[in-house]
Amino acid sequence: MSRLQSAMKIAARFMPDKPTDPLIGATRHIGKALSRVDGRQKVTGRARFAAEVPFDNLTYAALVYSRIARGRIAAIDTTEAARAPGVVLVMTHGNAPRMMAPPVFLSDADAVGGSSLPVMQDDRIHWNGQPVALV
């Protein structure tokens, strides 16, 4: 039994009217070799993963990242990328849909973001590797 499990058993004794966790001490699978139903297919490359399922009319995208840590975008020449075969759209801060800033985590109960920095919403670069275009 691990130290953590022992500590949990001791702590459980001092909790009034609380049943002991039935999983404490249940380690029948830990450290044991288990058969994987799809293991052989995965290690031999024959398994089909969710990302490998083809869809009709599926469009792929690639992000272009900044190579500087801070600055402003003076201009982005997208003409060559837009003319490439198969390109549907080249999106930059100039033509990206406007989004509201997400609520920052811990400032709002419904927040989902850790930062309110806008991505592709203006010409400012805030960090190296920030997405600046989508092709």
Determine the pLDDT at residue 34.
81
Determine the pLDDT at residue 35.
82
Please list, in sequence order, all residues whose beta carbon lies within 8 angstroms of the beta carbon of residue 73, skipping any fewer than 6 positions away: 92, 93, 123, 124, 125, 132
How far apart CA 13 and CA 18 sit, in angstroms, is 9
- Which segments of the chain are extended strands (E)? 63-65, 71-72, 91-92, 124-125, 131-134
Which sequence spans correspond to the domains of the chain? 3-51, 52-135
Whole-model pTM? 0.58
Determine the pLDDT at residue 47.
92
42: tokens are: 């995965």
In 3D, which of 131, 116, 122, 120 has the Cα closest to residue 67?
131
How far apart CA 61 and CA 90 sit, in angstroms, is 9
Class of domain 52-135: alpha beta
How many CA atoms lie within 13 Å of 35's alpha carbon, on the beta-carbon side? Answer: 1
Determine the pLDDT at residue 110.
66
Q: List C-alpha distances in Å: 47 to 9, 36, 39, 50.
A: 43, 13, 9, 10
List, run by run, the mean pLDDT of 10-residue segments along the chain (135 residues).
Answer: 80 72 73 84 91 89 97 97 97 94 69 74 95 98
Determine the pLDDT at residue 121.
94
